Amino acid sequence: MSDRLPDIHPLSPALQLQPPPLIRFLALPLALAIFAFDTFTNIQGAVAVLYVLVPLLLLGGLSRRGILLAAGACAGLTLLSFALRHGIGAAPAAILRCAIALAAMLITTLLLLRDHASRLALLQANRELSRSEHRYRSIFEQTRFSLFEQDFSAVRKALDALRREGVTDFAAHAAAHPDLVGALAGKITTLAVNDATLELLGARSEAEVVGPAGRFIPAQSPAIFQVLEALFEGRNRFEGKGQLRTLAGQELTVLVGISFPEDAEELKRVVVGIVDITGQERTQQALMAAQAELARASRIATVGALSASIAHEVNQPLGAVVMNAQTCLRWLAQDPPDIAAAARAAERVARDGKRASEIVARTRGLLVRDEAAPDVLDLALLVQEVLGLLEREIAGQGTSIVLDLPSDPARVRAGRVEMQQVLINLVTNALHALSPLERAQQRIEISVSGPKNGLMRLGVRDSGKGIDPADLEKLFSPFFTTKVGGMGMGLAICRATVEARGGQLVARNHPEGGALFEFTLPAADETPEKP
């Protein structure tokens, strides 16, 4: 190890201890005085032992070489004064005294060298620490990501106390105590932030931001609940999406990343990274709103086209039906009635009636004609995609989603977009049915199963008040709605779509409450049958 270390940071005062210059200057006169006493006085003691004071006086101010030199010089003076005083024929007692003095000097030198080595090691460690702190600080300050340094120790204590009270399911406990999340968020303290964070929050100085962090976290932000849950469950990291409130009260959508240290003591200083994605979210929402509007517009257009087409095409067979019915009546009114001719007219009535119903069925098929060549879809993936598309509506309403999806792919043959529309309709209807309820009571279960008898099944069950039994028959009729501003076409189109792919869509009330909508579709491949 080199004696010289590059100076990066001022050393802590404890490591800089050096003898004051005055005391250092005393070392030389002291050595000379001991030499004089030892050589020219007749004291019968081991005066030379006092030489150990010389390197001790210089302690901290000497390098390793300096210590060896000082010790060597003192040993030299001891031997010189021994030679001057006793010469060759020295008495054994004098030799012993000289040996004791040299041994004392040797031991002191070894101790000083050891002290010097540990002092250097400590200096090195201190400098490494300063360097690493310096590096951390410059990353913290200069990065363009928002960083918060926060104290989570009070939250940890409160969560530990909950565990001691016997709480094992944080989500259930938080659902039963709606104020809990806000109260725990209030225990997070911000210690420091970087410039990017000041900019993000619209603050002029750090003083406006440090302190309780709760005021920047909207209580309904899903991320804060998830952060607390991660901490409760002892997970060591969290990444998710949430909301942050600026000083001006504007709500931002942000990505949050936190690594929780293992050591509880270090929870006093946790770094929280934040990336503002409000702009991207807005674009995404605008896109989704445009998509929804397009879907609505195309549905209205389809309904219009459908009615016009039905009216137009059915007119002709209906005219024929009326005409043949009148002919039939005329044959029957004759005296005697011509039964055979009446029967022929009645047969024509039946034929034209059948044709009219075929036209209606074919025109209904127009609704799903868009996707001529169906894809092979995995229903479990479809569920994930639709939950992604409805993420904001679900989070905004605070509805919990419970999934029961198979591990094997649940393949069916249908158009991806059309099946997305079906599932979006079912989940949106469930959300509408749940909206009057408290957050904690809102629950949607989506399950996928099969194949059974060659069919895959998807069910959407909600915890709402269910369907009025009187309405059960009418739900799938076009234009049936119980909603203000509802169009009543959603379920009709869903059923037409599912049936066009060889499946069925049914609705019923679940015995344990809530509505259950289920559809089946033929399984698309050789997925093994479930018992």
* Smaller CB separation from ligand ADP, 312 or 483: 483
Pairing of strands 237-245, 375-378: unpaired
Minimum CB separation of residue 402 from ligand ADP in Å reads 15
Q: Which is nearer to ligand ADP, 306 or 487 (CB)?
A: 487
Is the Cβ–Cβ distance between 433 and 462 less than 8 Å? yes
* Chosen residue from 185, 448, 458, 467 binding ligand ADP by CB under 6 A: 467
- CA torsion 200-203-207-213 (nearest 10°) is -50
Per CB under 6 A, 368 contacts ligand ADP: no
Judged by CB under 6 A, the number of residues near ligand ADP is 20
Cβ-based nearer residue to ligand ADP, 228 or 475: 475
Cα angle at 98 between 92 and 99, to 5 degrees? Answer: 85
Q: Which is nearer to ligand ADP, 268 or 474 (CB)?
A: 474
Residue 523 DSSP label: B
Query: Least distance (Å) from ligand ADP to the CB of residue 486?
Result: 3
Q: Is 483 in the site for ligand ADP (CB under 6 A)?
A: yes
149 makes contact with ligand ADP (CB under 6 A): no
18 phi and psi, to 5 degrees?
A: -135, 150
The single-letter code of the amino acid at 487 is M
* Least Å from the CB of residue 386 to ligand ADP: 15
Q: Which residues, 6 or more positions from 358, have their beta carbon under 8 angstroms from its beta carbon?
A: none
Angle, vertex CA 430, rays to CA 424 and CA 434, nearest 5 = 140
**Cβ-based neighbours of 184, under 8 Å, separated by 6 or more:** 155, 158, 159, 228
User: Stretches 51-59, 223-231, 271-279, 474-482: which one binds ligand ADP (CB under 6 A)?
Assistant: 474-482
Q: For residue 462, state whether it binds ligand ADP (rule: CB under 6 A).
A: yes
User: Which residue's CB is nearer to ligand ADP, number 175 or number 515?
Assistant: 515
Where is 239: in which H helix or E strand? strand 237-245
Are the C-beta atoms of 462 and 514 separated by less than 8 Å?
A: yes
Task: Characterise 466 by phi-psi region: left (phi > 0), alpha (psi -120 to 50), beta (else).
Answer: left
Which of these segments, 211-219, 276-284, 480-488, 521-529, binds ligand ADP (CB under 6 A)? 480-488
* Separation between Cα atoms, residue 34 and residue 49, nearest integer Å: 9
Give dist(CA 310, CA 359) in Å, integer: 7
Among 236, 280, 307, 482, contact with ligand ADP (rule: CB under 6 A): 482
Q: How far is the CB of 436 from ligand ADP (least distance, A)?
A: 11
Among 244, 475, 496, 521, binds ligand ADP (CB under 6 A): 475
Interface with ligand ADP by CB under 6 A: which range of 47-55, 93-101, 227-235, 429-437?
A: 429-437
Q: Which stretch binds ligand ADP (CB under 6 A): 107-115, 160-168, 368-376, 459-467?
A: 459-467
Out of 243, 425, 463, 497, the only residue in the binding site for ligand ADP (CB under 6 A) is 425
User: Does the footprint of ligand ADP cover residue 390 (CB under 6 A)?
Assistant: no
227 versus 430: smaller Cβ distance to ligand ADP: 430
We find the least distance from the C-beta atom of residue 432 to ligand ADP, in angstroms, to be 7
Print the binding letters for residues 484-523 with ligand ADP: x by CB under 6 A, - otherwise. --xxxxxxx----------------------x--------
Q: Return the number of the residue (450 or 464) whose C-beta is nearest ligand ADP.
A: 464
Instruction: Give dist(CA 268, CA 270) in Å, integer.
Output: 6
Cβ distance to ligand ADP smaller for residue 253 or 497: 497
* Nearest-approach distance from CB 487 to ligand ADP, in angstroms: 4
Beta strands, E only, 270-399: 270-276, 375-378
> Which of 46, 254, 430, 498: binder of ligand ADP (CB under 6 A)?
430
User: Quick one: which of 33, 24, 49, 44 has its CA closest to 106?
Assistant: 49
Nearer to ligand ADP, 95 or 300 (CB): 300
**Amino acid of residue 70:** A
481 binds ligand ADP (CB under 6 A): yes
C-alpha triplet 425, 171, 446: angle, nearest 5°: 25
Q: For residue 300, give every residue at least 6 positions away whose Cβ sits within 8 Å of its Cβ, in sequence order, or none.
A: 487
Provide, rounded to whole angstroms, the least separation between the CB of residue 417 and ligand ADP: 18
Q: Which of 383, 523 has the CB closer to ligand ADP?
A: 383
d(C-alpha 71, C-alpha 236), whole Å: 55
Of residues 389, 317, 402, the one with CA closest to residue 359: 317
Calpha distance 268→284 (Å, rounded) = 37
The answer to whether 302 contacts ligand ADP (rule: CB under 6 A) is no
Residue nearest to ligand ADP (CB): 490
Task: Output 111 or 289, the one with its CB closest to ligand ADP.
Answer: 289
Residue keyed to tokens 């002191």: 108
Return the ∠ at Cα 161 (arms to 157 and 164), rounded to 5°: 140
User: Which residues, listed in sequence order, are joined to residue 448 by a DSSP beta bridge?
Assistant: 458
Rounded least distance, CB 437 to ligand ADP, Å: 12
Binding positions for ligand ADP, 439-458, rule CB under 6 A: none
Q: Looking at 123-131, 263-271, 447-455, 482-490, which segment touches ligand ADP (CB under 6 A)?
A: 482-490
Q: How many CB atoms lie within 10 A of CB 365?
A: 12
Residue 528 per-residue DSSP state: P
Residues interacting with ligand ADP, by CB under 6 A?
A: 425, 429-430, 433, 462, 464, 467, 475, 480-483, 486-492, 515
